[in-house]
Amino acid sequence: MSAMAVEPPSATDAESLSRLIAAVARQDRDAFAALFGYFAPRVKTFLIRSGVNESGADELAQETLLVVWRKAAQFDPVTTGATAWIFTIARNLRIDALRRERRAGTLDASFDLEAFADERPPPDNAIDAAQSQERLSAALAQLNEDQARVIELSFFEDKAHGEIARLLQIPLGTVKSRVRLAMSRLRSLLDEAR
């Protein structure tokens, strides 16, 4: 790819970002330059907002993009988006740096490393979770009323099978049977939805 053929990526164009990373995996320096120009300032801003000083953020942003250069062949656009993948690399490098500082004793003893660990899943996970939730809701709607009720009580209201039997005034064996049949039906419906 020549410098003329490499277009700067767009935040909304996941496909062009994936193509750029694929080109970087082939050691295309122009593609890497475009990716670097796009992501380095964004990663640096992310790191500064998470508490890293400016020079440290600069270093970590460069290190993040070097990891992208080295590991571009490992990127799988089916499992995660390019932006989420790159920001996860940055987050992990930030946590590693904080751990090194803690071991070296350069952090204040009261510093809480976990406060900087972003526990939120990558943005692509939210989309996957929403799609999974839609499939589950559609599958639950296809259960018969008795099965849907025991699933609701058991899994959504976290009630024990004995308690469900008392609430519905049915034998414990019937509750267990309905749960088993409902789970089997849900698995089947969810497999069909994929």
Domains of the chain (ranges; CATH) run 14-120 (1.10.1740.10), 125-193 (1.10.10.10)
pTM to 2 decimals? 0.50
pLDDT above 90 covers a percentage of the chain that reads 32
Tell me if 188 sits within 8 A of 147, measured CB to CB. no
Task: Check residue 3 and give its pLDDT.
Answer: 41
Task: Check residue 66 and give its pLDDT.
Answer: 93
Residue 21 confidence class, pLDDT cut points 50, 70, 90 = very high
Tens digit of each residue's pLDDT (9 = 90 or more) over 141-150: 888 989 888 8
Q: Which of the 8 DSSP states describes residue 91?
A: H
Range with lowest mean pLDDT among 123-132, 136-145, 173-182: 123-132
Helix 82-104 and helix 29-49, axial crossing angle in degrees, nearest 10 = 60
Residue 4 confidence class, pLDDT cut points 50, 70, 90 = very low
Between residues 154 and 178, which one has the greater pLDDT?
178
